[in-house]
Chain A
Amino acid sequence: MLTTLVFLPLVGSLILLLLPKDRHVWLRGIATAVSAVEVLISLLLLARFVPGQAGMQFVERASWIPSIGVQYYLGVDGVSLALVLVTSLVTLLATITSYSIQQQVKEFYALLLLLETGMLGVFVALDYVLFYVFWELVLVPMYFIIGIWGGPRRQYAALKFFLYTLAGSVIMLVGILALYFGTGLGTFDMLALQQAGPRLAGSLQWWIFLAFFLGFAVKVPIFPFHTWLPDAHVEAPTGGSMILAGVLLKMGAYGFYRIALPTLPQAAHQWMLPLATLGVISILYGALAAMAQKDLKKMVAYSSISHMGFVTLGLAALTPASISGAVFVMISHGLISPLMFFLVGTVFYERLHTRMLDELGGLFDLMPLAGVIFAFGIFANLGLPGLSGFIGEFFTLLGSFSTFQTLVIVSSLGLVLTAAYHLWMMQRVLMGRAEDLGGGHGPLADISRRELVVAVPLMILVLVLGVYPGPLLHLMNPAVLHLQNVVQVASRWGGM
Chain B
Amino acid sequence: MATSLLPLLPQLLLVLFALAVLLYDLGNEDRPGLGSLAMLGPLAALLGLGIVAGHPGEYWGRMLKVDSFSLFFQLLTYAGTFLVILLSRDYVERQPIHRGEFYTLILLAGVGMSVMASSAELLMIYVGLELMSLSSYALVGMIKRQDQSIEAALKYYLMGAVTSAILLFGISLLFGITGTTYLPDIASALALTKDIQGNLLLIAAVVFVLAGFGFKVSLVPLHMWTPDVYQGAPTPITAFLAVGSKAAAFAGFIRLLATGLPAAVSLWQPLLALVAVVTMTYGNMTALAQTNMKRMMGYSSIAQAGYILTGLVVFTPDSLAATLYYLLAYLFMNIGVFACLIWVANQQESEEIAAFRGLGQRAPFYAVSLAIFFLSLVGIPPTGGFMGKFYLFFAAVQSHYVWLAVVMVINSVISLAYYYGVVRQMWLEPCLPAAPGAAAGGTSRWSMPAARASTSTPPAAASSTPEKAQSWPEPTKPASLALGVAVVISLLLVLLLGLYPQPFFEWVGKAALLG
Chain A residues with CB under 8 Å of chain B are 64-68, 104, 107, 129, 132-133, 136-137, 139-140, 144, 147-148, 154-155, 158-159, 162-163, 166-167, 170-171, 173-174, 177-178, 180-181
Contact = CB atoms under 8 A, between A and B. Distances in A.
A43 to B, nearest CB: 29
A38 B434 CA distance: 43
A147 to B, nearest CB: 5
A254 B394 CA distance: 25
Contact of B506 (A67, A163, A167, A177): A67
Contacts of B502: 64-67
A65 B325 CA distance: 14
A129 B386 CA distance: 11
A170 B412 contact: yes
A183 to B, nearest CB: 13
B413 A174 contact: no
B155 interface: no
Contacts of B410: 167, 170
Contact of B394 (A64, A66, A159, A177): A177
Interface in B433-488: none
Nearest to A129: B390
Given A154-B428, A167-B410, A178-B402, A173 B393 contact: yes
B152 interface: no
Contacts of B170: none
Contacts of A173: 390, 393, 409
Among B361, B381, B427, chain A packs the most CB atoms within 10 A around the CB of B381
Name the interface size band of chain B: 20 to 34
Given A140-B375, A159-B420, A174 B397 contact: yes
Nearest to B409: A170
B424 A133 contact: no
B382 interface: yes
Nearest to B318: A68
Contacts of A180: 394, 397
Contacts of B191: none
Contact of A174 (B360, B386, B409, B428): B409
B406 interface: yes
Given A133-B382, A166-B416, A173-B390, A148 B428 contact: yes
Contacts of B103: none
Interface in B357-377: 360-361, 375
Contact of A132 (B381, B394, B416): B381
B402 A158 contact: no
B427 A147 contact: yes
Nearest to B381: A133
Given A167-B413, A171-B406, A174-B393, A158 B382 contact: no
A140 B379 CA distance: 12
B184 interface: no
A136 B416 contact: no
Contacts of A68: 394, 505
A174 B381 contact: no
Interface in B402-439: 402, 405-406, 409-410, 412-413, 416-417, 420, 424, 427-428
Contacts of B424: 147, 155, 159
A230 B166 CA distance: 56
B281 to A, nearest CB: 15
Contacts, number: 78
26 contacts: A64-B502, A65-B501, A66-B502, A67-B502, A67-B505, A67-B509, A107-B360, A129-B390, A133-B381, A133-B382, A140-B380, A147-B428, A154-B428, A155-B424, A155-B428, A159-B417, A159-B420, A163-B416, A166-B380, A166-B412, A167-B410, A170-B410, A171-B406, A173-B409, A174-B405, A177-B394
B199 interface: no
B245 to A, nearest CB: 29
A128 to B, nearest CB: 11
A104 B393 CA distance: 38
A139 B416 CA distance: 12
Given A137-B381, A170-B412, A174-B409, A65 B505 contact: yes
Interface in B485-505: 501-502, 505
B191 to A, nearest CB: 29
A228 B285 CA distance: 22
B398 interface: yes
Contacts of B405: 174, 177
Contacts of A178: 397, 402
A51 B416 CA distance: 44
Contacts of B509: 67
Given A67-B506, A162-B416, A174 B380 contact: no
Interface in B383-397: 386, 390, 393-394, 397
Closest 9 A/B residue pairs (Cβ):
A170-B409, A177-B397, A133-B381, A147-B428, A167-B413, A67-B505, A65-B502, A174-B405, A136-B381
A137 B417 CA distance: 18
Contacts of A67: 502, 505-506, 509
Contacts of B378: 166
Contacts of B393: 173-174, 177
A454 to B, nearest CB: 27
A158 B381 contact: no
Nearest to B421: A159
Contacts of B412: 166, 170
B409 A171 contact: yes
A167 B420 CA distance: 15
A224 to B, nearest CB: 18
B427 A166 contact: no
Contacts of A154: 428
Contacts of A107: 360
Contacts of A170: 379, 409-410, 412-413
Nearest to A64: B502
Nearest to B412: A170
A65 B361 CA distance: 37
Contact of A137 (B361, B382, B394): B382
A63 B392 CA distance: 21
Given A155-B424, A174-B409, 11 more contacts: A64-B502, A65-B501, A67-B502, A133-B381, A136-B386, A137-B381, A148-B428, A162-B416, A166-B380, A171-B409, A174-B406
A163 B413 contact: yes
Given A129-B390, A174-B409, A163 B417 contact: yes
Nearest to A139: B380
A133 B499 CA distance: 10
Contact of B428 (A66, A140, A158, A177): A158
Nearest to B360: A107
Contacts of A133: 381-382, 386
B428 A181 contact: no
A66 B412 CA distance: 26
Nearest to B380: A136
Contacts of A144: 427
A167 B379 CA distance: 12
Contacts of A66: 502
Nearest to A133: B381
B420 A162 contact: yes
B506 to A, nearest CB: 6
Given A65-B501, A67-B506, A174-B402, A148 B427 contact: yes
A104 to B, nearest CB: 8
Contacts of B361: 104
A148 B394 CA distance: 35
Contacts of A159: 417, 420, 424
Q: Which of A137, A147, A148 has the most chain B CB atoms closer than 10 A to its own CB? A: A147
Contacts of A64: 502
B23 to A, nearest CB: 47
Interface string B58-77: 00000000000000000000
A178 B360 CA distance: 39
A148 B380 CA distance: 20
A62 to B, nearest CB: 12
A174 B403 CA distance: 10
Contacts of B413: 163, 166-167, 170
